[in-house]
Chains A and B, each alone.
Chain A
Amino acid sequence: MKYQSVFDIIGPVMVGPSSSHTAGAARIGLAARNLFGKQPAWAKIHLYESFAKTYRGHGTDFALAGGLLGFATDDPRMSKALDIAKEEGLHIEFIEDSASSVHPNTARVIVGDGKEELELVGISIGGGKIEIIELNGFELRLSGNHPAILVLHNDRFGAIASVTKILAKYRINIGHMEVNRKDVGKDALMVIETDQNVDDTILNELKGADHIIKVSKIVS
């Protein structure tokens, strides 16, 4: 089921004017910030279809900026987010992309600072709800509504078991899990949605497990 909660329907509380183009866009920006793990120094944002055609009027631009700054959907600073980003030295570029996309409201967000980069594709599916469908070239399906752990690992046997064993030890329940790889035996990405936020000690233990390259998390 795409929508699990009545509060996806009656909600979110948000700054207008559009749930998909404003609230959803803010949540895509926020997901990019969370996955990057900090505020990026720059962002390149490709907008497709309805996002590309109407982003100015709907405030999709300032909402994406607001999300990158860590604003919630009802943050009163939202409409000033582009100015605030400038003040904080976050450089954002918007590109109206004419390519077709899987969903009418799609944004490809590339963020970085001097050291690293992250690229994700988010879709805003209605009523403020979003899905992250691509991360650094990996296809995935992440709602952004639940806490999640993302584990980049070598595609070897035992890698998944070593992660789930640690989660079981700390009694962390897995709500949804999927594994994607670019090629057999190369890097793979584990996406684990959990019922509760996972604290950093557990994250550090995961980082030390066999075949694990990188671990990041989304809090909810």
Chain B
Amino acid sequence: MGIRFRTVSELLELTEKHDLPISEVMIQQEMDIKGKNRDELYEQMEKNLQVMEKAIEDAFKGVQSVTGLTGGDAVRIQKYMKENTPLSGNLLLDAVSKAMGTNEVNAAMGIICATPTAGSAGCVPGALFAVKERFNPSREDMIRFLFTAGAFGFVVANNAFISGAAGGCQAEIGSAGAMASAAIVEMAGGTPEQSANAFAITLKNMLGLVCDPVAGLVEVPCVKRNALGVSQALVSADLALAGVKSKIPCDEVIGAMYRIGKQMPSALRETGEGGLADTPTGRLLKEKIFGASV
């Protein structure tokens, strides 16, 4: 039997034992389970990468959802960046515009790559295509970024959940942002342990986040939650690279996320019944979109 991990601590042990980066452990496990070679995996991941790239391009041309609730913010942010000096910095705001843009394309029923879900699909590519400007990575490095993000998502999916209906937004944006943090650290030259710390810090800061989409649509607040995910991803990556550690280890944070999700009432798990969906404006928007009878 080849490389197998189901927890972050097992993943870290493997990186240490074989002296490999996280991306490589993920690649080797995948080759082993699927009986595929490296070229085949790279080819498949390259296709995902191209979909992400194209979604951001589309977003920057301007998109609008069928309901008119979302769209156009990525363009707005890019314009603001050209004309002003953003308070939060260019790299961070660039990441935010790319993350929100990807989700605007998703809401407009465009083609995206779920990472790990469609509602949270902006965080990982938003982070990747923003730090790309800083590090000038090779195509292989960009593919590795996705395998590193995938390794952490794989652990969350198998030990907790990644869908809002099962565990709230903490399971979607929380997981996606945390996956992005870990991958940024590896691309920046950090250690696997620093990746794990970045992951844990992001997920900790997302605990309890509910899934309360207005009218049940993946639009409000989902698009802007991707801004949250990618910003925290960058901040956590910086913290981890600075040597800040999470007091609670990754696997225990994932366990906490799971228990919190289990305790969350169904009104706050993608039913469109609680939270922002149940505000006067949220209800009014729903009525406008679907009619009073719904």
Residues of A bordering B, CB below 8 Å: 1-23, 49-50, 53-54, 56-59, 74, 76, 78-79, 103-105, 124-128, 195
Q: Which residue of B lies closest to A126 (CB)?
A: B163
18 pairs from A and B in contact (CB 8 Å cutoff): A6-B154, A7-B44, A8-B157, A9-B153, A10-B113, A10-B116, A14-B118, A16-B108, A18-B117, A19-B119, A23-B114, A54-B272, A56-B290, A57-B290, A58-B217, A74-B111, A104-B271, A128-B117
How distant is the Cα of A145 from the Cα of B21 in the complex, in angstroms? 28
The answer to whether A126 and B111 touch across the interface, beta carbons within 8 angstroms, is no
The answer to whether B266 and A49 touch across the interface, beta carbons within 8 angstroms, is yes
How distant is the Cα of A45 from the Cα of B197 in the complex, in angstroms? 45
Q: Is B35's beta carbon under 8 Å from chain A?
A: yes
Q: Which residue of A lies closest to B145 (CB)?
A: A10
How distant is the Cα of A78 from the Cα of B106 in the complex, in angstroms? 13
Question: Binary interface profile of B, 178-219, with partner A (CB < 8 Å = 1, else 0)?
Answer: 010000000000000000000000000000000001011111
**A1, A4, A12, A54, most chain B CB atoms within 10 A:** A54
Residues of B within 8 A of A79 (CB): 109
**B6, B147, B215, B218, most chain A CB atoms within 10 A:** B218
B26-34, B80-88, B224-232 - the one binding chain A: B26-34
The answer to whether B271 and A54 touch across the interface, beta carbons within 8 angstroms, is yes
Beyond A7-B48, A10-B45, A19-B117, 16 additional pairs, beta carbon < 8 A: A3-B158, A6-B30, A9-B116, A15-B110, A16-B109, A17-B218, A18-B117, A18-B119, A22-B118, A50-B269, A57-B217, A58-B218, A74-B111, A103-B166, A126-B161, A127-B163
- Count contacts on B: residues with CB < 8 A to the other chain: 61
How distant is the Cα of A10 from the Cα of B34 in the complex, in angstroms? 15
Question: Binary interface profile of B, 93-113, with partner A (CB < 8 Å = 1, else 0)?
Answer: 000000000000111111111
Interface majority SS (helix, strand, loop, mixed), chain A: mixed
How distant is the Cα of A74 from the Cα of B162 in the complex, in angstroms? 20
Q: Which of A19, A57, A125, A195 contacts B118 (CB 8 A)?
A: A19
Q: Which residue of A lies closest to B115 (CB)?
A: A10
Q: Is B47's beta carbon under 8 Å from chain A?
A: yes
How distant is the Cα of A6 from the Cα of B23 in the complex, in angstroms? 11
Residues of A within 8 A of B30 (CB): 5-7
Q: Is B273's beta carbon under 8 Å from chain A?
A: yes
